[in-house]
Amino acid sequence: MFGLFSSPSSGNSQPSHAVKGAAGGIHAVLGTPLAAAPGAGQAEAQFGCGCFWGAEKGFWRLPGVVTTAVGYAGGQLASPSYEQVCSGRSGHAEVVRVVWDTARVSFADLLKLFWECHDPTQGNRQGNDRGSQYRSAIFVDDPDLLAVAEASRQAYQGALDAAGRGRITTEIGSGRTFHYAEPYHQQYLAKPGSRPYCSAQPTGIPLGPIPGATYLLPASVWESYDWAIPHCVLRGDNAPIALV
């Protein structure tokens, strides 16, 4: 990741396996607590799409998202630092924790953004970012949502196959502890002086229907994302997308 260091739906939400290291901050764009636990009618999941800076912005812009935070999940160390994760020895992936209002935005909508905003066939890299920390991943503890995630992977693989693309390498699982990243990483692209960096490499292939899941967001929302343009999220406004 090119950054501050020179080196690199179901409405039955359940609490995440574990969340550690929250600093008690407030979301720089949404104004909500970063460590907010899902309330009634809310759910949460973690998404790994390469560098977490651009991925987080993509998710916080969706109508109905309550809060987002970047962090590390899927590794072995009890309290990983950015340097340890970037070394590749901790086993963690860079992920975005998303809490959303299930009446306004569905897990299917979040999965549409996830699959379309990066290339899930690249293994332990995304664009210029290389290493296991940049792997594609979905971590969610609700078994109903886990099943939807699996169904979406099958659906997107079908779309990729039809286009002659490769096999998906995305890791899907539950029970992954989320560790909050350092404060300067949170909503990084919305902060003064941030470097406009995003390594995501969208395939340009849309996700179609997901068996057993329903999209809630109107088509107009997706007009705010143009995955044919490299690093599309860097060109969009920081504010959440307004529904007309």
pLDDT of residue 201: 94
Domains in the chain (CATH in brackets) are: 40-219 (3.30.1060.10)
Alpha helices in 95-206, H assignment, sequence order: 107-117, 143-162
The pTM of this model reads 0.91
Q: Which residues are catalytic?
A: 51
Q: Are 30 and 240 in contact (CB under 8 A)?
A: yes
Alpha-carbon gap, residue 124 to 92, rounded angstroms = 11
User: Average per-residue pLDDT in the chain?
Assistant: 91
Question: Residues 119-165: pLDDT tens digits?
Answer: 999 999 999 999 999 999 999 999 999 999 999 999 999 999 999 99
Q: Are 167 and 121 in contact (CB under 8 A)?
A: yes
pLDDT of residue 158: 98
Nearest CA among 209, 236, 6, 216 for reference residue 100:
216
pLDDT of residue 227: 94
Half-sphere exposure of residue 5: CA atoms within 13 angstroms, side-chain side: 13
Question: Residues 61-117: pLDDT tens digits?
Answer: 999 999 999 999 999 999 999 999 999 989 999 999 999 999 999 999 999 999 999
Question: Residues 19-73: pLDDT tens digits?
Answer: 666 657 999 999 999 998 999 999 999 999 999 999 999 999 999 999 999 999 9
